[in-house]
Structure 1
Amino acid sequence: MFFPAAYLLSLLLVMGTRDTVLSTQAPPRGCYMAEEAGERTFRCSQAGLSTVPPGIPNNTRKLYLDANQLASVPAGAFRHLSILEELDLSHNVLAHLSGAAFQGLAGTLRHLDLSANRLASVPAEAFVGLQIQVNLSANPWHCDCALQEVLRQVRLAPGTGTGIVCGSGARPDLVGQEFLLLAREEELCGTGHGGAQRSTDVALLVTMGGWLALVVAYLAHYMWQNRDESRRPLKRAPVLLPVRSEDSSTLSTVL
């Protein structure tokens, strides 16, 4: 059975068009691909996005999703970007990060910008294995154990440390203070890294100090009382003088 040449040509065109549609997905409005300093860059800045957009090319090395309305980053959102080196999520409304938000990026991601969002806390496991330089400034941090654990795993972008400030949800005595200064003076984690041991040691020292103060006070009172007693004059018993024999003889003669 033979098909007319025109029919075969039409069939090939349809199949080719279908394959092209399936393999190429148009980027969201406001997003575009570009070459910047020889790096494949995908920009979606100020694109009005409320979720991480689909269709980000796998060969993207720099991804800019800044100045949008992203409220969260779900698990595995960038898993397919196997060579991604830089990710900018700044100036969004991020209030939540999944513990697996950056899953699949451990071997490649080097720079991460989370500044100017609404992050009060982040799960420490989100950064496990990442060798990144991160910007965490301009967020309303709770200044909790999770943030302290994060800072043990990552490097801060130069000049951004002073911008990590405790927000209104932190302990009242911490609000408005720089977190890095607090972390140097206080262990915020109740367990791990000696936190529990330090608390126990402090409590023990306070208890021992209290007992020692009581003992010292008692000894001081005892010594002061004894000193007062030693200063008082002693009451001596009257001394009876013996009668001399001459006096006794004279008395007898007179009688």
Structure 2
Amino acid sequence: PPRGCYAAEEAGERTFRCSQAGLSAVPTGIPNDTRKLYLDANRLASVPAGAFQHLPVLEELDLSHNILAHLSGAAFRGLAGTLRHLDLSANRLVSVPAEAFMGLQIQVNLSANPWRCDCALQEVLRLVRLAPGTGTGIVCGPGARADLVGQEFLPLAGEEELCGTGWGGAQRSTDVALLVTMGGWLALVVAYLAHYVWQNREETRRPLKRAPVLP
């Protein structure tokens, strides 16, 4: 195993620990039967695409207390059927791509990051379950909108829609446009029917012309 890392059996689970190992990248040589992987308290700045796809039974992943500032949209590719717990707390994340969590059935800790509190984060919260007791730790950082800095994000996300445009918001915009178009067509149909009924009523009110009397 990489220096500072070791494999162990913990509660009957194959575990691989690389805590405080001075790592600056996701290490190679992790046994592919690993169920719990601890990469916490290192110097990881990013997680590239497919970083863990060679771990087909991975259930728990701890990336807390690093310096993560970037997460690939395919960072957890290959883990959709297995990963259950993910810890991203105490990093430098300001935003994460929602697609990184698509298809995952996970419980995640997102606390203690300087979040921008944007649409992407709102979309992520629609896709995941938060680890118990960690929601209050999701706070808007210096890069957030001025009126949001220092505020807890969960109450804000419940009150304000941040996805007017962009990922997720585009679909909602399309839906709204479709509804408006359908409403316009419906209004035209109603107007036509009303005009038709009114015209027919006028026709029925006109006196019938008498036929000319033949000599």
Residue 89 of structure 1, aligned match among 63, 68, 76? 63
Post-superposition offset of 1:190: 1.1
Residue 11 of structure 2, aligned match among 37, 43, 58? 37
Matches within 5 A, 1:93-104: 93-104=67-78
Structure 1's unaligned 5+ residue stretches are: 1-26, 202-255
Amino acid in structure 1 at the alignment position of 2:30: I
Matches within 5 A, 1:230-249: none
The superposition leaves residues 81-138 of structure 1 with CA deviations (integer Å, 9 ceiling, x where unpaired) of: 0000000000000000000000000000000000000000000000000000000000
How big is the alpha-carbon RMSD for the aligned residues of Structure 1 and Structure 2? 1.5
The superposition leaves residues 135-164 of structure 1 with CA deviations (integer Å, 9 ceiling, x where unpaired) of: 000000000000000000000000000000
Amino acid in structure 1 at the alignment position of 2:129: R
Structure 1 stretches of 4+ with a deviation exceeding 2 A read: 191-197
Matches within 5 A, 1:193-208: 194=172, 197=176
Residues in 1 aligned to 2:73 and 2:160: alpha-carbon distance in whole angstroms? 25
Larger radius of gyration: 1
Residue 130 of structure 1, aligned match among 75, 80, 104? 104
Q: Name the residue aligned to 1:211.
A: none
Structure 2's unaligned 5+ residue stretches are: 181-215
TM (norm. structure 2) is 0.78
1:54 aligns with 2:44: no
Residues in 2 aligned to 1:127 and 1:195: alpha-carbon distance in whole angstroms? 22
1:79 aligns with 2:53: yes
1:176 aligns with 2:135: no
Q: Name the residue aligned to 2:191.
A: none
Q: Name the residue aligned to 1:156.
A: 130
Residues in 2 aligned to 1:28 and 1:101: alpha-carbon distance in whole angstroms? 21
Matches within 5 A, 1:5-16: none
Post-superposition offset of 1:166: 0.2
Which structure: greater helix fraction? 1
Residues in 2 aligned to 1:91 and 1:153: alpha-carbon distance in whole angstroms? 23
Report the secondary structure of 1:126's partner residue.
Answer: helix
Q: Does the aligned pair in 2 maintain the 1:109–1:131 contact within 8 Å?
A: yes
Post-superposition offset of 1:195: 6.4
* Residue-pair matches, total: 173
Report the secondary structure of 1:41's partner residue.
Answer: strand
Q: Name the residue aligned to 2:115.
A: 141
Distance 1:104 1:112, change over 3 A: same
